[in-house]
Homo-oligomer: A and B are copies of this chain.
Amino acid sequence: MRWPDKVLVREVGPRDGLQYEKAILATDRKIALINGLIGAGVVAIEATSFVHPRAVPQLGDAEKLLEGLAEYGSEVVISALVGNARGMERALAMTHTQLSEVVVVVSASEAHNRANLNRSIDESLAELYEISNMAIGKINVRGAVATALGCPYQGNISFHQVNRVIDGMLAAGIGEITLADTAGMGNPRQVYELVTQLKGIYPGVTWSLHLHDTCGLGMANIVMGILAGISVLESSVGGLGGCPFIPGAAGNVATGETIKLLRKMGIDTGIDLERINQCTRKLSGWLGR
């Protein structure tokens, strides 16, 4: 049993957490939230999304937000979601800001990919190839495989389905891939086995894990991901980001809970729990919780 000394916790609350919130949070408050998170020691934040503002009104202020961020230095990585070539153009126009990375999501489930992105997996992978080419020498591109551990429409996801998307991402030159349990359907054994298998086949890839706590297994899945060699975990401040299709479902694993678990197990994240709790309380107030 090998426990790491250190794990990187990437904060996705400002993007994945906020995107389902109906009440629009003012750009100033989003910036204050990001500043607070960075002040707590967070060094990787998925800050916003370059999707069409009609699709996700909450994130319609991507440019304004990025322009408003302070200069954090090169050790802080600010990333944004990009859905298509138009989104990539918008991202490339922001490289004078702190933005240094984009994320492209493709689902392992054909049904989820169509529901989420309105196109087939093959179409998404072709677009990913195009987007990645646009980025060369300008901005880093990460990949994320949605529904990698189960799909609300299709149920179980086979290793072949995950593998196919990964092959497409690697062909596009991507070096870091997030395995996302979008619907929170994964179990600890499955997480361990999937990560172990992928690490064996693709030893050069950096794997990150994006978990939801929908079924109360978020913490158990984190532990088994870490034991399989995951070194990057994604979490959301306050656990924000429930699935809009499952009322009352718990959302992303919460940042505070994640770093508390890691700290108890002697694993360093460089993040101050008390300051994360302050961010959570402030955000809860703004969202009227």
A interface residues with partner B (beta carbon < 8 Å): 1, 3, 187-190, 192, 215-217, 219-220, 222-224, 227, 257, 260-261, 264-266
User: Does B261 lie within 8 Å of A217, measured CB to CB?
Assistant: yes
Question: Which residues does chain B contribute within 8 Å of A215, judged by CB atoms?
Answer: 260
Can you tell how many copies of this chain the complex includes?
2
User: Which listed residue (B1, B3, B219) contacts A220, Cβ 8 A?
Assistant: B219
Chain B residue with Cβ nearest A257: B216
Task: Other than A189-B265, A215-B260, give 17 A-B pairs with Cβ distance below 8 A.
Answer: A1-B227, A3-B189, A187-B264, A187-B265, A188-B223, A188-B265, A189-B264, A189-B266, A190-B264, A190-B265, A216-B219, A216-B257, A217-B219, A219-B219, A220-B220, A220-B223, A220-B261
CA distance A216 to B215 in the complex (A): 12
CA distance A260 to B220 in the complex (A): 13
Name 25 A/B residue pairs within 8 A (Cβ), A-sorted. A1-B192, A1-B227, A3-B189, A187-B264, A187-B265, A188-B219, A188-B220, A188-B223, A188-B261, A189-B223, A189-B264, A189-B265, A189-B266, A190-B264, A190-B265, A215-B260, A216-B219, A217-B219, A217-B261, A219-B219, A220-B220, A220-B222, A220-B223, A220-B261, A223-B224
Question: Which residues does chain B contribute within 8 Å of A1, judged by CB atoms?
Answer: 192, 227
Question: Which residues does chain B contribute within 8 Å of A187, judged by CB atoms?
Answer: 261, 264-265
